[in-house]
Structure 1
Amino acid sequence: MIMRRNAWLFAGYDLWVLGMESAAVMTMRGLKVAAGGAAAEAEMQRMVSEKVQAGLDLQAAALRGALGSTMPELVSKTTKHYRKRVRANHRRLTKA
């Protein structure tokens, strides 16, 4: 018997993982900002610019039709888009 992949189940799991990864990054960033100083100011500026750029990049992908043709595809590709950025921040913040 072949089991069909439940696209919504996988999309929901990906969203859950994104939430967990984001919470870790928000905690690390919060600690960095709470420490104050030039590093905190740079981190705050970086947070804002990254969020704006991620949103613009996602809009561009949507306009190109790169987010798929079904709702589960849209959710999964959008989640993947943000997870890539969250993981990059996690790597950067854990090296510091």
Structure 2
Amino acid sequence: MKITPAFPYAAWATLGTETWMLGFEAAGVIAARMHGFAWSKPGSDREATRMVEEKLHALAELQWAMMTGAMGTTPLAISQKTVDLYRKKVGANRRRLSR
């Protein structure tokens, strides 16, 4: 959506929607993981380790992007790229866990 004087906060509203979707998708991944843990699915111990490794890797990736200036210079750009990064990670987990 093009930002016009009539909609100066449209980008922030879109970011809010994307953030909400991130939370919704992450809840689905958490539910899938907890289902596997509760029923002791084969590989659930590896999933627990992988979960922590992925979180640390995503954090390091985000910090590196911040330090190198790849995230942008405005609070909006930084927020958008942060949400985009985490939505990609969560989406990959959702697809992998739904197999």
- The correspondence for 2:21, drawn from 4, 17, 20, is 17
1:3 CA drift (Å): 5.5
TM-score, scaled to structure 1? 0.90
Equivalent residue pairs, number:
94
| Residue ranges of structure 1 left out of the alignment (5+ in a row) | none
Find the aligned partners of 1:14 and 1:37 in 2 and give their Cα distance. 32
1:46 — aligned with what? Answer: 50
Pick closer, same or farther for the CA change 1:68–1:38 going to 2, 3 Å: same
- The correspondence for 1:76, drawn from 76, 80, 86, is 80
Determine if contact 1:34/1:40 at 8 Å carries over to the other structure. no
- Give the residue type in structure 2 aligned to 1:94: S
Runs of 4+ in 1 over 2 A off after TM superposition: 2-5
CA RMSD in angstroms comes to 1.5
Find the aligned partners of 1:68 and 1:9 in 2 and give their Cα distance. 19
TM-score, scaled to structure 2? 0.88
| Residue ranges of structure 2 left out of the alignment (5+ in a row) | none
Find the aligned partners of 1:62 and 1:3 in 2 and give their Cα distance. 25
- Are residues 1:33 and 2:30 paired? no
Taking only the aligned residue pairs, the percentage that are identical comes to: 38
- Give the residue type in structure 2 aligned to 1:53: H
Find the aligned partners of 1:62 and 1:53 in 2 and give their Cα distance. 14
SS of 2:73's partner is coil
- Give the residue type in structure 1 aligned to 2:13: L
1:17 CA drift (Å): 0.6
